[in-house]
């Protein structure tokens, strides 16, 4: 039997609705602080004591003569209330000057039907 004959004899079932991708929220923190050795452990402590491991941590020494420290942190699945609370705590950390926050929603590979 030729391939084109087989295909024409095969029944075609109606397609089921396409599954949609689930979304997850990622809470983002952008921190500007003095470039001092104790700043990063104090910042990380606020996440660690809540059992959170940041999914992304990036830091750079910036500013004139390397006096500033810019830290960008992302935490997957952190709800808005908890993220806002951690941001308020970060603003109280010694040598932290500024804390900006945002939340983004990203598609996951898992599918929801």
Domains of the chain by start residue, with CATH: 25-107 (3.30.70.260)
What pLDDT does residue 24 have?
76
What pLDDT does residue 97 have?
97
Q: How far is CA 71 from CA 22, 29, 101, 107, in A?
A: 29, 8, 12, 25
Report how far residue 102's alpha carbon sits from residue 27's, in angstroms, rounded to the nearest whole number.
Answer: 6
More confidently predicted of 101 and 14: 101
pLDDT tens-digit profile of 6-28? Answer: 444 544 455 554 444 455 789 99
What pLDDT does residue 111 have?
44
pLDDT tens-digit profile of 75-85? Answer: 999 999 999 99
What pLDDT does residue 2 have?
55
Is the whole-model pTM more than 0.85?
Answer: no
């Amino acid at each position: 039997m030729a391939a084109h004959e087989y295909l024409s004899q095969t029944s075609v079932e109606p397609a089921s609705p396409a599954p949609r991708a689930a979304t997850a929220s990622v809470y983002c923190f952008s921190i500007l602080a003095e470039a001092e050795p104790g700043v990063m452990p104090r910042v990380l402590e606020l996440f660690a004591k809540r059992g959170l491991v940041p999914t992304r941590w990036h830091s750079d020494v910036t500013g004139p003569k390397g006096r500033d420290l810019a830290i960008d942190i992302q935490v997957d699945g952190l709800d808005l209330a908890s993220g806002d609370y951690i941001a308020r705590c970060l603003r109280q950390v010694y040598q932290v000057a500024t804390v900006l926050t945002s939340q983004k929603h990203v598609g996951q590979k898992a599918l929801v039907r």
